[in-house]
Structure 1
């Protein structure tokens, strides 16, 4: 009964409610022609199970949908399901060991076939197949089996009580894929299914008509979409590449595009663009944290492939917690906020900055302390050399390759952090990689953030919904990317801490909401202030821009930014 009561409280906290975003601009499907979207990180694949890149996952959300997702307030809303299962409505078992979903009777795949419980079951089999390297594996970590009750009813059985049963098949990172299309794509064959990965059959408002890797994706309205009056747009041109500056100008100054994603630009630059009168910026805070990730393995190109950046080769100095702490406290986060984000940024020491229940009171990193950083490096045995670079008695130099994606704000951050690190005797080489490549899922590319062929790297991501369990599960030992997993897996730091794994397992079996908050905060602290394996920098408000003629846009930081594209319409046309 205690578990049941706690889950009901958690559901209330999530704010489950029916979706209510229908607009008054009803009419025929495709009535508003084409909409142009620009993401300055180009799309490399349309399969979110084979990519951890936001641009790939969000592009795929136009086609692939989950059973439920989150609206702009963090409320869970049904999509392919008829309703959100709970204990009170009988959808979640009293002991929290299973959840039963009912699929909407009128949902069709874009090829006209019916969506069935077999598709849901197959999605689980696909993501958990050995050797497949599913990028979203943490969503299924506590799922024991998926059972077909009938064609429209599917039961997810957990390995034990699941206080948060809304991970698998919920949110844009865990959509349903068609069993028929992906049947021959299990395990190691997953990356080889080019047609399915580039042009998936889906249930969303659009279907892919042309896919050009790291360039442009063309979509057209799905004629089998369940709402006959949606989408308003007949086609979508989804252009990728360039940079945030060009994307912002293309919407707000020249009007070439209707929507620009993730305008990671200085605040004065965005304000100047808005004066162009063609578009407006929109923003919202959620859980997006710009951070530096420390590689606990050796990325040296002198090592052979298969050993480089794997657990077989520990990092020569980043395995020392004193070095990691020194690198963290040498950074002036307030200046980074001022330079990069203004009112759209907040300095943070937390990987999970929200919701409040899971936000640690960790503030230790907020004050730059170069004296302490120097003292820590002395203590670690790295003495300043005549060339200004620290070296230890074994001849190991504090020399770092610091990589990130190509973006004006990120390059500004790199320049500042390089300066601070060199002040404490850490030689720093900067590298930036095209965003489409860096965040791509190509297992053969040496430049992806998962492969991590650098000492440290910087980027941002967030989690869908309001519960960080799956997000924090990224740092479990089992989620380390390696050649055996096609370099997929969220634990890019290659950290393996049995204590962390045990505490996460406790989170996964705890129903009391306050206790979940306590455990979540402790897990956050284990990878941040206690170890500095992850060095948070800025809690970023999401900023995007859309044309003044584009209606229906509701910025969502809890799910795909394009979550309600079916409701977009053209104003005045």
Structure 2
């Protein structure tokens, strides 16, 4: 693997930048960040894992993003296009973006509209397996108007046209660097995927997958006074507890992401006095995903976990519903998150206009109701307490998740509740860096879903769930021909759902968007494709000497890292 020379260190960056620019840039020295789920790639188009999206956001940026209040703000673009300012066509079939003047890539070359158009081509390539394909739904083409302007043309009217090139999930790639990485070649471009040339405050010096990333200040960053830190280390691996201690007790680290720990554990760590926890609610939902296809290792890869082979047990909605009814969500919140969690029955818990109340029955555990459903489905209790069907098949499920203390506690409780209704769960936990990675060769990624059920948390950027809900349309499933990238990991397919989602894409009224969004959520919930557990607040921690941190649950947590600074 190619490594960057030490000549690309802070000294070289100093030599490359005008002296005036370095009057303040880098004056605060070194910044240490820890993500206990270690990044495995620096390209969010090839991974849906939050760890990879957020690490990438330090380097590559979008035209617009969401701030800490969920408001859409211009980033690489001059302004947010709207109908009122002429940026969005009156018939809502196009949006025109204009780049800020004078933007440079970290290698000193100019950022142009050709880079924007190429990024769309990269993600929309039919053989590319783009992890963010839902954001490009209904894009017909991207027209280069001039060196700084593009117009995105949609095949249908788009009242909310802020999917492509918006948020950390959809940044701009440098066309020159990724030119030979289209389609099936995308995962093969190791140099580009590990060392992307970007416009962000930092650039990669050394990348070690699933371990550590060394970065330095981008000498061509658009603000000559930023970033305040000259170098940055993003350390990956370990666990949430060690990450929290490294900030709040020992002070080794400046920022620790996603402290998925019991509330009393976080409170004890905070007494160390070296750091403070910060938290906020957004749309992050811990859930159990149901595999609607057969993950049997007896099947060849090209048919395993495809709709050609329906799941032999979970294809029955009564089984899926029974598994949900057996869960005590209130207890999960109590032991796992305390005030940083709320029981939920929805995939989309916020904003309020999109939050359904139609599924609230799940808030009450109903073991007797679950048993009755399994009786009705033909599963009878065997001599060992585990149910069997008429064919003699035992009701045994493989239940996987990432390695994390709270998740293992959840697994143990849910395993116990399922046992009480006659279901045996074989528990498995996988290293987070692998589970949330995008390696198409790994059998253990959440996208490949080689298990019956799996548990993790996910959310959407911004305050509108159109792209998020679009992940459950027919045809966007991970499969071999897309390098196992894709969003519909359950392999759910309902033409009525797809039609309703198309209506959402073409609806302008926020009240109507709320109604349709709730209906889409309810289809997924009432089919028990996804079993929500906890509406999780995001909890991270930063050093008492680190200023400028604005916890953002609507975009990348590292969205404003260029503004972070040392306070003492």
1:374 aligns with 2:371: yes
How far did residue 404 of structure 1 move? 0.4
Q: Which residue of 2 aligns with 1:311?
A: 307
1:180 aligns with 2:180: no
- The Cα offsets for residues 17-68 of structure 1, whole Å up to 9 and x where unpaired, read as xxxxxxxxx9611111111000010010000000000000000000010000
Match of 2:432 among 435, 438, 451: 435
Match of 1:415 among 412, 416, 423: 412
How far did residue 305 of structure 1 move? 2.1
Q: Which residue of 2 aligns with 1:492?
A: 489
Conservation of the 8 A alpha-carbon contact between 1:291 and 1:535: yes
SS in 2 for 1:447: coil
Conservation of the 8 A alpha-carbon contact between 1:32 and 1:569: yes
Q: Which residue of 2 aligns with 1:554?
A: 550
> Any gaps of 5 or more consecutive residues in structure 1?
1-25
Match of 1:119 among 104, 115, 120: 115
Match of 1:71 among 67, 70, 81: 67
How far did residue 396 of structure 1 move? 2.2
- The Cα offsets for residues 287-322 of structure 1, whole Å up to 9 and x where unpaired, read as 000000000011112222222212221100101110
How far did residue 513 of structure 1 move? 1.2
Match of 2:203 among 201, 207, 210: 207
Match of 2:156 among 145, 156, 160: 160
How far did residue 511 of structure 1 move? 1.2
1:46 aligns with 2:42: yes
> Any gaps of 5 or more consecutive residues in structure 2?
1-21
Q: Which residue of 2 aligns with 1:398?
A: 395
Which range moved further: 393-402 or 536-545?
Answer: 393-402
Alignment of 1:51-66 (within 5 A): 51-66=47-62
Q: Which residue of 2 aligns with 1:6?
A: none
Structure 2 distance, partners of 1:354, 1:510, is 19
1:471 aligns with 2:468: yes
Structure 2 distance, partners of 1:112, 1:478, is 40
1:480 aligns with 2:460: no
Q: TM-score, normalised by structure 2?
A: 0.95
Structure 1 distance, partners of 2:311, 2:341, is 32
Match of 1:264 among 260, 264, 285: 260
Aligned residue pairs total: 546
Structure 2 distance, partners of 1:116, 1:507, is 32
1:340 aligns with 2:336: yes
Q: Which residue of 2 aligns with 1:244?
A: 240
Match of 1:198 among 190, 194, 211: 194
Distance 1:386 1:155, change over 3 A: same
Match of 2:518 among 518, 521, 536: 521
- The Cα offsets for residues 195-218 of structure 1, whole Å up to 9 and x where unpaired, read as 000000000000000000100001
How far did residue 130 of structure 1 move? 1.8
Structure 2 distance, partners of 1:262, 1:378, is 41
Structure 1 distance, partners of 2:121, 2:504, is 25
Structure 1 distance, partners of 2:53, 2:336, is 25
Q: Which residue of 2 aligns with 1:388?
A: 385
Conservation of the 8 A alpha-carbon contact between 1:266 and 1:340: yes
Conservation of the 8 A alpha-carbon contact between 1:316 and 1:396: no
SS in 1 for 2:516: helix
